[in-house]
A and B are shown apart, each in its own frame.
Chain A
Amino acid sequence: NAGVTQTPKFQVLKTGQSMTLQCAQDMNHNSMYWYRQDPGMGLRLIYYSASEGTTDKGEVPNGYNVSRLNKREFSLRLESAAPSQTSVYFCASSEGGSNYGYTFGSGTRLTVV
């Protein structure tokens, strides 16, 4: 049982380049999320998808776009990468609702130079 799979695991980008982070879950979860983790800041929500066909902004959405491709897959796109987007990115999924925990992927370490 794979859970939540993120690709790639590591990436180095030059300022201004674009890239897409991929996320897939095999638990038939309704909701999916993208977080970034920075030292001293904890995990901050970038975008989320409460159900297939919907997406909403989180706490720090600027500079990012998302696509809920189907129930399994939720991608995060950086159109023009900036050094401030250097971070560890985590995808998560859940059944949805306040009484369910999230299952996280293992993360993508992104460096923008």
Chain B
Amino acid sequence: QKEVEQDPGPLSVPEGAIVSLNCTYSNSAFQYFMWYRQYSRKGPELLMYTYSSGNKEDGRFTAQVDKSSKYISLFIRDSQPSDSATYLCASNTGKLIFGQGTTLQVKP
């Protein structure tokens, strides 16, 4: 079992929809969580970063961590075609441990 698990999708939504991307992790000692966005044929880029439990908001993006259930979520409001990418959750333990990534397509 991977330490960080993510449903690979693909996920297809209409423009303007609210998108929910989710991961689970196995190690209760994990405290630092990140979301990366990766466009096709590009390297991943850091999108959001959270520490421990709670929410963090940045524009249309909200990252949420529930340590009691070992659950990580990324919400995208008013999704746009430019949000079409692969989204990778990760925990930073001194080394980044990634989930498999979820491919999102936002259709105009």
Binding site for B on A (CB under 8 A): 4, 33, 35, 40-45, 48, 50, 58, 90, 92, 96-107
Residue of A nearest to B44 (CB): A104
The answer on a CB contact under 8 Å between B93 and A98 is yes
The answer on a CB contact under 8 Å between B44 and A90 is yes
The answer on a CB contact under 8 Å between A104 and B43 is yes
Cβ-based interface call for B25 (8 A): no
Contact with A along B28-56 (1 / 0, CB 8 A): 00011010000001111110010100000
B13-21, B60-68, B97-105: which lies at the interface: B97-105
Set of chain B residues within 8 Å of A107, measured between Cβ atoms: 41-43
CA distance in complex: A102, B49 (Å): 11
The smallest C-beta distance from A12 to any residue of chain B, in angstroms, reads: 17
